[in-house]
Chain A
């Protein structure tokens, strides 16, 4: 166990549903990340938070909405997704500087139907 926990592990949702992915780390890291992993793009950065502040939004559609209430928790709110959004969503945490997103969660396998 690397200390980064994601829930749920699997999620099936309809295109009109609203759901949220959760990530939690108790490693004392100040940076947290959302990545999308699919066959099309193996590791695609979505969002970066440093000290609860969003420092990067990698041109992600507004149907994905991140939230970082504190340094230990990160959410990804999902609404009106498309089937092509089906993928593995990985959360990661790390420290500022040289050691970046060193620890990944297990991921949430999302299927949009």
Chain B
């Protein structure tokens, strides 16, 4: 089955700096890679996703990149703000699997 590793497990940055979270996956057949943000006491929420036919996707201050050859994908947050503080989960999904395999999460703290 699919295995997803996520690094780092914790990340602390100053407000305004950039933050990068990296994930690797094991099954080259995976073709959908969502990212979730979970604020303290709240539900995980899908913030951005990327499919295997795309190398990069951007949405305002958030961007994801995908390297299929190396089987890794990354979340980039620019101009971080305190409200970006949360746990971020990456995931990988096989075609028609109907489910995603999640990484163990990264706790991001943005210091004002």
A residues engaging B (CB < 8 A)? Answer: 2, 31, 33, 41-43, 45, 48, 50, 55-56, 90, 96-107
The A-contacting residues of B in range 31-76, CB under 8 angstroms, are 31-32, 34, 36, 42-46, 49, 51
**Could you name 18 residue pairs across A and B whose Cβ atoms are closer than 8 Å?**
A2-B43, A41-B104, A42-B87, A42-B102, A43-B105, A45-B102, A90-B44, A97-B96, A100-B93, A100-B98, A100-B100, A101-B99, A101-B100, A102-B46, A104-B43, A104-B45, A105-B43, A107-B43
Task: Identify which of B42, B46, B51, B100 contacts A103 (C-beta below 8 A).
Answer: B46
- A50 to B99 alpha-carbon distance, docked (Å): 10
A31 touching B46, Cβ below 8 Å: no
Interface SS, B side: strand
Cβ of B42 and Cβ of A100 under 8 Å apart?
no
What separation, in Å, do the CA atoms of A97 and B93 have in the docked complex? 9
B105 nearest CB neighbor, chain A only: A42
Helix, strand, loop or mixed for chain A's interface? loop
- In the complex, which of the residues B36, B44, B95 has the most CB atoms of chain A within 10 Å of its own CB atom? B44
What 5 pairs between A and B have smallest CB-CB spacing?
A104-B43, A43-B102, A42-B105, A98-B32, A100-B100
Identify A100's interface contact among B34, B44, B87, B89, CB under 8 A: B34
Q: How far is the CA of A99 from the CA of B49 in the complex (A)?
A: 9
